Amino acid sequence: MITTWVRRLAAPLVTALVAALLVAAPAPARAAEGRYAADIRRTEYGIPHILAADHGGLGYGYGYAFAQDNLCVLASWALTLRGERSRHFGAEAMSDDAVDPIPNLASDVYYKSVQASGVLRRVLARPAPHGPSPELRALVDGYVAGFNRYLSDTGVAGLPDPACRVKAWVGPITATDVWMNLLDLGRLGGSSSFKEAIAGAGQARENATEPGGPTRKVATAPGSNAYAIGREATRDGHGMLLADPHFPWHGSRRFYQVHLTIPGVLNVSGGSLYGTPMVQIGHNTSVAWTHTVSHAQRFTVYRLKLVPGRRTSYLVDGRPEPMGRQEVSVTVSDAKGEARPVTSTLYTSRYGPVLAVDWTERTALALADVNAANLRFADEWLAMGAARDVAALRRAQETYQGMPFVYTLAADAGGQAYFADASVVPHVTDEQAERCRAEDDPEMLVLDGSTSACLWGRDADAIEPGIFGPAAQPRLTRADYVTNANASPWLTNPKAPLTDYPRIYGDTATERDLRTRVGLDMIARRLSGDDGLGAPGFTLDTLQQTASGKRNLGAELLRPDLRALCRARPVLTASDGERVDVRRACATLAAWDGRARLGSRGAVLWREFFLNLNGPHRKPDGALGPPESWWKVPFDPERPLTTPRGLDIANPAVATALADTVRFFTTNDIPLTLTPGQAQWYGAVPVPGCTEGEGCFDRIRTGGPLDENGRYPDVNTGSSFLMAVELTPAGPRTRTLLTYSLSANAASPHHADQTELFSRGQWVTERFTEAEITAYPQMATTSLR
């Protein structure tokens, strides 16, 4: 029975439930005999607070709430994970993978091959911590039951979202779908970036040439910013945390904001990726944590030496080994709706799947993914959510050792700030990498697969063979701060550079990108009080203001020299030889406030100049290539926070980039004063912000270049779930913002309500305690029994 009522009627019953649970907190186990019970209480912007007596009930309430807001997205993604998109949408249409969309047929072949491999069955058969705990299994089962309960109650014809209402492909999900989603999330930095290469391996073998195979492609994982602030850097001596993940704004990799409570067992609030029944980035009463994408490698590629005349056998230590053979059948519908099976043959090696890349008569490549069979991170997130302090959070990470591709930054109420690359990393030492490297590829580590001496090693403290243990991981605990913006661990805190770690975790003493540099500069200015936000030290207000300042470090470093160019040469030559008067453009850039606010006049002109400056340039021989460095002062590893800097206006690429930019604007009658609020949108909502390449902290990225009408395609990734937390002795004080809002349903009142806040620079004050939740006048409760 489902009952919805307003706060006046619900509060007494909810309060009674909480009181009863607090008296005798239940053991964290599946609801008895498969029965589930939960309350979903919604506050501002539809944010759900799920209250249950056990993990099964918690998953049940969460699955139901998520389905209310985003059923269509997960129903579509379930088809992807099952390898059934070609049957419903055709083989040539693109998949719904927001990170790396590929044709449906290739996607289906890849996911069918994962299913046929039996890897999920084997992982689920293992006991914790190698396989899922009973609590996690109950949570997943409850989530599936809750999602399906909503679909059953509503019916496909009654779904509120027109995107999938009455669609034949919509149906219940299974626990396998959720486990597959988790497995695929773990593979995001590895196998999931090679889907086409894995799915096309059979065709590559049949059509092998010298040299053969398609171009290699490695999908880029989403990025993020994070601060963990310790007691020495905050005004009141409390621990604080800023989370700013940069994930897609559409599809299955969006965050959903949720508060999950089992009284006496779990009380965690934050961001949870679609289809995952736990919080990945969040806080409890005394600890807050977030993640940024790690620089460490998640895979190695092995170059196989093939047996002469036998392209499906390879040599290891001089002995032949046959490749494994996997037949995968996918159902494809043609234009008439008639279904037919398409069978593909895939090949595997001792290292992993064989790729459709450089498969010749003599060699082939195989992918070894360190997360190929990893679900440990799901229990790790549950344990982190229950941690009381940074020390307990660290113990949780050492127990499960499952973080798939992210750094962890955390702070606690005692004022400790913590950084770790506690992610799963292939055990390849620097010596082994040098000895076994088969080719010099800047994007991936290619090792010699013809000798067992190049197999991954192992550490005594590692939970699994083939990975580094906790003792080898880059870690830093401070009382001032730690930070990361997807750079290597080196300058987590410039006062204590990290250098003693294997190079597979990342580099040291190399140039930092502008987003990393602006993030570090923002901290330094806040600690010195030179940022205009008042006395030194962070408060919750100044943490929020710092994070959303819309600074553009590239402009700060380069604009003074550009002004000198403008004064000296008011007419410049474009790349085709045309002469362009740049005086009005120079005046616009000189008057620009240097920010990326909605009304910042000249911000888009600067972006287009910066993009042209970094784009391909014509060489003396007529070929296009990257420009020579236009920095005036080159990078100096002794001064990594202030170099490179300045604009070398003697470099002809600078003048050409400005001339080409101004001509594009004037030719298309685009105002030189074009603002972010005029040029970039998410649906009907104008969006502030700029790109990471320019040196912007809370960055955004659009779906393509500026068009001739002065508008970018819609924003498709960037700052997604913003969270600023102050961990006080009285409990957490938190402000959040889900930039693309809670629901993907365009008809929902919560489809763009928080996006409008983002547009105006506003955040949401979180309700975390029972008193805060029940104090919301319009609270609506759905009670599931």
The residues annotated with a catalytic role in the active site are 224
- Which residue's entry shows tokens 């349903």? 745
In angstroms, the CA 670 to CA 662 distance is 10
Burial label for 464, CB within 10 Å (0-12, 13-18, 19+), is: middle
Residue from 754, 50, 65 nearest 385 by CA? 50
Radius of gyration of the chain (CA): 27
Amino acid at 730: A
- Is the CB of residue 297 less than 8 Å from the CB of residue 287? no
- Residue corresponding to tokens 């809670």: 742
Of 76, 297, 75, 77, which is closest to residue 185 (Cα–Cα)?
Answer: 77
- Specify the pairing of strand 446-448 against strand 299-307: parallel
Beta partners for residue 725, in sequence order: 241, 734
Buried b (16+ CB within 10 A) or exposed e, 493-519: beeeebeebbbbbbebeebbebbbbbb
d(C-alpha 159, C-alpha 762), whole Å:
31
Q: How far apart are alpha carbons 72 and 70 in whole angstroms?
A: 6
* Start-to-end CA span in the chain (Å): 6
DSSP 565-584: HHHH-SEEE-TTS-EEE-HH
Task: Give which of 16, 423, 405 is closest to 220, Cα–Cα.
Answer: 405
Give CA 255 to chain center in angstroms: 9
Residues whose CB is less than 8 angstroms from the CB of residue 488 and which lie 6 or more positions away in sequence, other chains included:
295, 505, 506, 507, 508, 510
In the chain, the amino acid numbered 267 is N
Please, are residues 331 and 86 in contact by the beta-carbon 8 Å criterion? yes
- Residue pair 715/249 in contact (Cβ under 8 Å)? The answer is yes
48-52 and 255-262 as β-strands: parallel, antiparallel, unpaired? Answer: parallel
**Residues near 449 by beta carbon (within 8 Å), at least 6 away in sequence:** 302, 303, 304, 305, 314, 316, 349, 351, 366, 438
Helix axes 652-667, 583-591, angle to 10 degrees: 100
Reduce the DSSP state of residue 340 to 3 states and report it. strand
